[in-house]
Structure 1
Amino acid sequence: MRIKNKSSGISIPVSTILAAILFPSTSHLAMAKEETQLPAIQILGSESEYKNIPGSLSVVTERELQSNQPVSAQDALKKVPGVNVVETDGYGFYPRIGIRGIGSTMSKKILLLEDGAPIALGPYTDPSSYYSPPVERMEKIEVLKGSGSLAYGPSTIGGVVNYITRDPSKLNGPRVKLSAGTQSSKNILAEYGTRWDGHHASISMLKKDGDGWRQTPFNLTDVVIKAGTQIGSNHYLGLKYTNYDQSSKHTYLGLTEYEYQTNYKQNKAINDQMFLSRESLDLTAVSDLGNEATWKNLLYWNTANRNWWRQSHTQGSDPVVTTMGSTVDGRLRKFDVLGLDSRLTKKYKLADLDQEIHVGIRAHEEQMNNRRARAIGLSTYEVDAAYTSGDYVGGYRERDMRKAKAIALYLENRAQLNNELTVTPGLRVERYKQDRVNQMTQKSGASSNTEFVPGVGVTYDMAKDSVMFAGVHKGFAPPTVADAISSTGVPEDLHAERSTNFELGLRGKWSHGDYEFTVFRLDFDNQIVSKSASGGSGTQLTNAGKTLNQGVEFAGSWRPDNHWKLSGAYTWLPVAKLDSTRMISGKNRDGNRLTYAPKHTLNASLNYDTNRWSSGIGMAYISEQFSNLENTVEPSSNGRSGVLPGYTVYQLNGDIKIDKKTKIFVSVKNLFDKKYISSRAPEGIFPGVGRMVMVGLDSKF
């Protein structure tokens, strides 16, 4: 069997690699008795490296994931300082994550990774987060916002989120996790792991379904296979294969103001349907080269089909009510991604100073096949090849191919100037080329760019468990192919987003907990925004010019004894504004606040743990937000503009341990069933998810 990326012609002999990894020749294999973790690219390789990270870093630990029982990976990120999560579907299928006031629109300005590999369906062609790995497969989540993000790319203006999946070495036998709750939701997770003579392997199967929030039923199946082995004493190999399949009634269509006030749980677009399938293969290798040198390699491949069928609609007036039409169009997209990430780390001495150099290269290639087509009927979800009318020919209105190639070089050197002071300068050089071919008109166009992204970080050990850090680095995010090149093949005057990011912070541990305090400033030379007032799907974008975000983050915990723990995260964002007199659609928006950038974000929780049971209560507060750059306060009748009032929601969680391997758990989200507006984009009001109750059993055998 071979897996082939058609755009590159590169093929991977999977059967050969599997045989080499899982059944290596004993003549070349020293049977290592010690257990080793599957090699993966992590931001924080070990706890001892934490103090050397020259920037703000948050880790959602395995214990926190088990305690809070998040509904999704997006839900788990709500407790990270600087992060603002915008809900539209209630279950986090399409994460809308903003960091430090940087727009949350489909998480386009944040780099999302899983075990170091990019997970956006098209990081360059279309980085919108239509796929999110299930939180059930996660061991921890890393969030990096400082100068250390230079090691990753593209789209790291907001930061880097790295999902770390559960390692096979954590499993030794079967595990079953069952849960059920409101909206007829049901989750079944079955895992099995085994270890022998220095090898380990696991398989995980997840099945989720339910009626969904706002009458949007869903069905999800997720399979993960992981395996790893140690060859000799210096070489480690790993494999991860995933197969994800989801179907749901999710929609772009929100509610009008009248519909929200009369029945905010309704869904008018009952014939909208999303089909998403994704398959991936990651091969990892780590070699200890001796003389304190380590070489890490990650070969990643994935392919995905994202077919979103959406029913036509019109809106009447006084009051505005949505009337669904008689036709359904599909936005049909196929993605193929192939890349190699190689990193070399070497410790050495220079001028009697301890040094550590990091050198990396990443080659990346992707292809997106985009189609827009008319369906045969309201619920058939097949292209009507006989339909030709107006812009439609043979059922299709759009057919184009989008491609991107990129190569990035990365260099960082950490110099220990004395026992307390470490300086880490770095440089990332990224060259990318984008192509677009309109297959209906045969018109084509291309765009290319080279970015030099420098940065420097400093850490200073103030005390045994207290570190001050500071950093400044350039950030950039390329426009998508469709934004950079028009359907007629003409390159748009749309430049990459560029910013200069500053950080100053203090983190550490004390006898009763830990803390991190950070002051930040993101100074954009150019930020890409919507031209129209409401934004939404299909909106033309433009260069907004300078913008400025600055504020303060705090995260900490207090544990007075072995049972109680108080933890929280707070972000104050007093400035998140357009800082340019550049006219957009004939309007001067200079000084206006950026969209979905709340001034205050607070998460806090109080937990009590014993050897037999645990419980906790948490709260989340989000202050008001603007939905458009005009900063409109009064809600529009179609629901797409107007302020989003602030809100507070609470949650409860607890578990009882039946024995060392089995526990029963319960989780209640939005305890008081608070009604609030989470988003007004892309097309109307999306209410925040109501009360969700989940009860389950987690058992290892």
Structure 2
Amino acid sequence: MRRLPALALPLLLAASVAAQTGTLAGRVVGTDGVPLPGATVLVEATARGAATDLDGRFEVGGLAPGAYRVTASTVGYAPATERVEVAAGERAEVQFVLVEAALDPGEVVVTARETLTGRGTLDLPGSGHYVGAKTLQIVGDYDVHRVLREVPGVTVQEEDGYGLRPNVGLRGSGAERSGTITLMEDGVLIAPAPYAAPAAYYFPTTGRMDGVEVRTGAGQIKYGPATTGGALNLVAAQIPDGFEARGEARLGANDQRTLHARVGDATASAGWLGGAGVGFVAEVRSDNVDGFKTIEGPGGAALLGPEGDELSTGFEKLDLFGRLRVATAPGAAVYQSLTLTAGLTDEVSDETYLGLTDDDFAATPFARYAGSQRDQMDADHRALRARHVAVFSDHADLTTTVYRNAFARNWYKLDKAAGAEGGAVGIAALLDDPGEYADAYAALRGAAPGRLFVKANNREYLSRGVQTVAGLRTGGALVEAGLRLHADEMDRFQWVDEYATADAQTALAVAGTPGTDSNRIESARAVAGFVQAEVPLGRVVLTPGVRVESVRLRREDFGKGDPDRTGADLAVRENTATAFIPGLGAVADLGAGWRAFGGVHRGFAPPDSRPETDPEASVNTEVGVRYGSRDVEVQVAGYWTAYENLLGSDLAAAGGGGTSDQFNGGRVDVFGAEVGVTADLVGLAAPPAARAGWAAPLRVAYTLTDGRFRNAFESDFDAWGTVAEGDALPYQARHRLYVRAGVERAGWSTAVLANAVSDMRTAAGQGAIPASERIDAHVTFDLVAEAPLPGGVALTARAINLTDATYAVARRPAGLRPGLPRTLAIGLRARIGR
């Protein structure tokens, strides 16, 4: 018998369930009986929903038989909820009568329009995924790499085991420092300098987020500036509807200590504020760990600090976050609110760019060379946002946000090493061929006297701007128009200190002068705008849109000989780019819970300040199908990204020289397939009355990626080098498979998380992967559990890498780097209020 393709299995599963579904239909009206078009109807505990038409009518198909809570809401009215019984093959009717609201519906509606959380993903015109707060707690909220395993189409490259410096790519885009995607927090650009220096050496702490959204395809061009791969939006703590307090304490291996607390409250009408509504949320999170690596001296003995303790390879990180919202009093003709958001992150991590040679990794994968003992990242981030929302009517609203992000960091890390005699050699070249540089390698290990050159990668970033988005609903269509004025810059003011090393101990020999290694300012000024519409045409909704990006980039290089920046040797270069970025998406309701979607859009990413660098340009197409019911959701998509010009960035994080210069890569084709399945196995096997509170949640995410150069060229970009036509892109695993399977009942839960990644090459090439350019395939398993305790407290336990597999995750920046070994943690979690 002929075998079915693997991708067909989820479709057959969904189809078998769809055969026994029912339909929910009805009407939403006001107390005067007037229909309410554009109202949102959501079926709770599912991703199903609909918007009412001009006559206030709606229809939701593909619902498994059973009882549902269904909620209808719209601007200016209090939500209403009804309990509805749906039978197989039948049509259940319900009418909602909404009363004019005394609450703050504006925030709800605008949030629903801006994010996936308010509308689910089934009706998006392109691929979209949302990871909510509950899933974040299950999969490991401290590391965004682990969170994004839940989402097909995402490429992640681990580096330090803790997710401090995430490397995230979407649909074949490069993952280096997440510099090829649009990275946002609450819809605001959050990378340190998204245009001038998009490499995200700062990444928001995932553990304080309420959700993580990923959008790809034509529907995400309104975010920008990078529109090729897609957009990643982190949803920070939301102001609750009423009083809420929560806290968590966690202890784990390597002296891990996590403390996290949040409190918030809101009222629709505060007498002391003249009847206006007010709400707030405040949050603090502290993460500390000593690290899982050991800095070793000669003979493998751990190096000790001044107080006799082993040198740390971990980190300390503190996050403070708060929001305050003031809104108009109930009954105001125009709903308005002003939300002020502030955040602070302070991090000190004993991290390095120095990995291990192949032989040393095989012998002691969790060791660090003595030469890295001075390496440390010292970073702080300050964020300020003010958002004004005005809801003029059921048909028009305006959201304006002013933002400012400041990031300062000094990653003090080993750059070069030398023996007692001879010249210095960069750490990447040294670990590639330690035999060629035996004296420097011995000094690096602390086995012989030598010199170590530690670079202070001292940089300050500033990003600020204002963006406004207007929404206009007319008939059944929604039109959005946005404008953003943005400026960012990176100020590099670096130096190198020389240390003498003997017996694995280091002493400062020559102190560098700040500004004598790199002394320049990269800046960008950008204007961006978009118009996008959702146009219903029967069972099909079209989403045409266009984005315009215009950016001016400038570098002022003062030179290594002018640390005072007198301008005596000032060199200036400039580049400009303007792009017209159209897109068209469509989603069709096929009935019985099925949706088909597809789209095409233009891909863009800004170049650097060199005039010879072209913008990244591509044409991106996708087609897919979704199914959603009470107990199962499926999304299958295929895509083709045809790069006309792929950009590569010379980042130290990628093993390059750290100049941040970008290189034209020419034509590249990336093909891929994505499968996402979420199901409750108990729900699929038993009717609601027979489940007795049991659930067996299952999540499967599979990604197939095949990216290849379509032209031959010579590149100064180390990750490419000499490229032949047909060479595969580096750091793109062909297969990624993730499975999360669990059992839940009455607050008790346990789940196994399995993650499999095929081998991948670290340099462009084709055919068999040379051992020196290969990251081997690996499979890891995590185990998580939660048990309820009296008083609303829960006991949590986690085992990461349960089988204690030893595996490599990267060969860059310099040498092999290991994944996290088996790590155990236990904790307590409590919540009061809503």
User: What TM-score range do you get, normalising by the shorter chain?
Assistant: 0.7 to 0.9
**CA separation in 1, counterparts of 2:477 and 2:189?**
29
Per-residue deviation at 1:44? 3.0
Question: Match for residue 154 of structure 1?
Answer: 225
Determine which of 144, 150, 167 is the counterpart of 2:238: 167
Letter aligned with residue 599 of structure 1: R
Task: Report the CA distance between 1:590 and its aligned residue.
Answer: 0.8
Alpha-carbon distance, 1:394 to partner: 6.3
Unaligned runs of 5+ in 1: 1-29, 486-490
Q: Are 1:335 and 2:461 counterparts?
A: yes
Q: Tell me, what secondary structure is at the counterpart of 1:95?
A: coil
Distance 2:404 2:457 in 1: 23
Residues 9-63 of structure 1 deviation map (CA, whole Å, 9 limit, x = unaligned): xxxxxxxxxxxxxxxxxxxxx9955687587597535544634321000111122
* Separation of aligned partners in 1, 2:634 and 2:417: 50
Residue equivalent to 1:568: 700
Specify whether residues 37 and 181 from structure 1 end up closer, same or farther in structure 2 by C-alpha distance, changes over 3 A only: farther
Matched, 1:143 2:210: no
Letter in 2 for 1:228: R
Who is 1:317 aligned against?
435
- Tell me, in whole angstroms, the C-alpha distance in 1 between the residues paired with 2:724 and 2:223: 33
Q: Which residue of 1 aligns with 2:448?
A: none
Q: Does 1:204 align with 2:283?
A: yes
Percent sequence identity over aligned pairs: 25
Q: How does 1:295-306 map to 2 (within 5 A)?
A: 295-306=398-409
The counterpart of 2:730, out of the listed 595, 614, 632, is 595
3-state DSSP class of the match of 1:396? coil
Which residue in 1 is equivalent to 2:647?
A: 528
In the alignment, the residues of structure 2 paired with residue 286 and residue 385 of structure 1 have an alpha-carbon distance, to the nearest angstrom, of 58
Post-superposition offset of 1:558: 2.1
SS of equivalent residue, structure 1 residue 430: strand
Equivalent residue for 2:62? Answer: none
CA distance in 2, matches of 1:173, 1:347: 34
Report the Cα distance in structure 2 between the residues aligned to 1:499 and 1:336, rounded to whole angstroms: 29
Matched residue, 2:536:
416
Aligned partners of 1:373 and 1:534: how far apart in 2?
A: 18
The equivalent residue for 1:665 is: 796
Given that 1:626 and 1:633 are in contact with CA atoms closer than 8 Å, whether structure 2 keeps it comes out as no
Measured in 2, the distance between the counterparts of 1:634 and 1:148 equals 37
- What residue in structure 2 maps to residue 220 of structure 1? 317
- Once residues 656 and 293 of structure 1 are traced to their aligned partners in structure 2, the CA distance between those partners, rounded to angstroms, is 47
Cα displacement (A) at 1:682: 1.5
Q: By how many angstroms is 1:69 displaced?
A: 3.1
1:601 counterpart letter in structure 2: R
Question: What's 1:263 paired with?
Answer: 364
Supply the distance in 1 between the matched residues of 2:630 and 2:111 (Cα, whole angstroms): 32
Change (3 A) 1:651 1:435: same
Name the CA shift for 1:204/1:462 in 2 (closer, same or farther; >3 Å). Answer: same
- Work out whether residues 284 and 321 of structure 2, in 8 Å CA contact, stay in contact via their aligned partners in 1: yes
In 1, the alpha carbon distance for the partners of 2:457 and 2:650 equals: 22
User: Is contact 1:518–1:552 with CA below 8 Å preserved after alignment?
Assistant: yes
CA distance in 2: counterparts of 1:60 and 1:443, whole angstroms? 46
From the superposition, tell whether residues 125 and 643 of structure 1 become closer, same or farther in structure 2 (CA, over 3 Å). same
User: Deviations 1:414-472 (Å, cap 9, x if unpaired)?
Assistant: 21122x01111111011000111112321111111101111100110111522111100
Q: How does 1:239-278 map to 2 (within 5 A)?
A: 239-268=340-369, 269-278=372-381
- Answer with 51-60 or 323-332: which moved more: 323-332
2:435 corresponds to which letter in structure 1?
Answer: S
CA distance in 2, matches of 1:327, 1:692: 34
The answer as to whether partners of 1:460 and 1:468 remain within 8 angstroms in 2 is: yes
Structure 2 residue corresponding to 1:459, chosen from 573, 584, 587: 587
1:229 to 326, 347, 356: 326
> Which whole-Å deviations, capped at 9, do the CAs of 1:516-571 have from their partners, x for residues lacking one?
11011111001123799996132665312110111211101221334112221111
In the other structure, the counterpart of 2:52 is none
Where does residue 372 of structure 1 map in the other structure? 494
Question: 2 CA distance for matches of 1:467 and 1:550?
Answer: 22
Identify the match of residue 452 of structure 2 among 305, 322, 326: 326
Aligned CA distance change for structure 1 residues 371 and 516 (closer, same or farther; 3 Å): same
Distance 1:333 1:590 in 2: 38
CA change 1:267–1:567 in 2 (3 A) is same
Counterparts in 2 of 1:212 and 1:41: CA distance versus 1, 3 Å: farther
Q: What is the deviation of 1:117?
A: 1.0
Residue 154 of structure 2: aligned partner: 83
Go from structure 1 to structure 2 and tell me whether the alpha carbon gap of 1:395 and 1:496 turns closer, same or farther (over 3 Å shift): closer
Is the counterpart of residue 578 in structure 1 residue 709 in structure 2?
Answer: yes
Structure 1 position 581, deviation (Å): 2.9
Q: Which moved more, 1:264-273 or 1:67-76?
A: 67-76
Give the direction of change, closer, same or farther, for the CA distance of 1:106–1:579 in structure 2 (3 Å limit). same
User: Following the alignment from structure 2 to structure 1, what is the Cα–Cα distance between the partners of residues 173 and 202?
Assistant: 20
Contact 1:631 1:642 (C-alpha < 8 Å) held by counterparts: no
Determine the structure 2 residue equivalent to 1:654: 785
Give the AA of the match of 1:213: F
Amino acid at match of 1:255: L
- In 2 relative to 1, CA 378–599 (structure 1 residues): closer, same or farther, beyond 3 Å? same
The residue aligned with 1:307 is 410
SS in structure 1 at match of 2:254: helix
| 2:815 aligned residue | 684
Listed one character per residue, the Cα deviations across residues 110-148 of structure 1 (whole Å, up to 9, x for unaligned) are 111111111111101211121121222111111001111
Aligned residue number for residue 562 of structure 2: none
Out of 659, 663, 666, which is 1:545 matched to? Answer: 666
What amino acid does structure 2 have at the position aligned with 1:523?
Answer: A
Aligned to 2:747: 612
Q: Give 1:495's aligned residue.
A: 614
Residue segments in structure 2 that go unaligned for 5+ positions in a row: 1-99, 270-276, 295-312, 419-429, 445-450, 502-507, 560-568, 684-693
1:390-539 pair list within 5 angstroms: 396-418=516-538, 420-440=539-559, 441-480=569-608, 484-485=609-610, 491=611, 493-529=612-648, 536-538=655-657
Deviations 1:206-259 (A, max 9, x none): 111111232422111110011112213411221110000001111111111122
AA matched with 1:74: H
The 8 Å contact of residues 500 and 509 in structure 2, kept in 1 or not, is answered as: no
The answer to whether the 8 A contact 1:533-1:630 is kept is no
The separation in 2 between residues aligned to 1:192 and 1:109, in whole angstroms, is 35
Which of 468, 477, 493 does residue 355 from structure 1 map onto?
477
Residue of structure 1 equivalent to 2:56:
none
Q: Is the 8 A contact 1:402 1:436 kept in 2?
A: yes
CA distance in 1, matches of 2:550, 2:635: 35
What is the rounded CA distance, in whole Å, between the counterparts of 1:152 and 1:220 in structure 2? Answer: 29
**Structure 1 residues 626-635 or 200-209, which shifts more?**
626-635
Counterparts of 2:101 and 2:321, CA distance in 1: 26
- Aligned amino acid, residue 826 of structure 2: V
Question: 1:476 corresponds to which letter in structure 2?
Answer: F
Partner residue in 2 for 1:628: 763
User: Which whole-Å CA distance do the structure 2 matches of 1:663 and 1:223 have between them?
Assistant: 24
**Distance of 1:443 and 1:516 partners within structure 2:** 52
- Measured in 1, the distance between the counterparts of 2:603 and 2:526 equals 17
What is the deviation of 1:175? 2.3
Structure possessing the higher radius of gyration over alpha carbons: 2
Counterpart residue type for residue 199 of structure 1:
V
Distance in structure 2 (CA, Å) of the matches to 1:322 and 1:603: 41
1:184 aligns to what? 255
Aligned partner letter, 1:225: G
Conservation of the 8 A alpha-carbon contact between 1:386 and 1:395: no
Tell me, in whole angstroms, the C-alpha distance in 1 between the residues paired with 2:340 and 2:545: 30
CA contact under 8 A between 1:37 and 1:168: conserved in structure 2? no
Q: Which amino acid aligns with 1:357?
A: V
| CA 1:200–1:393: 2 relative to 1, 3 Å | closer
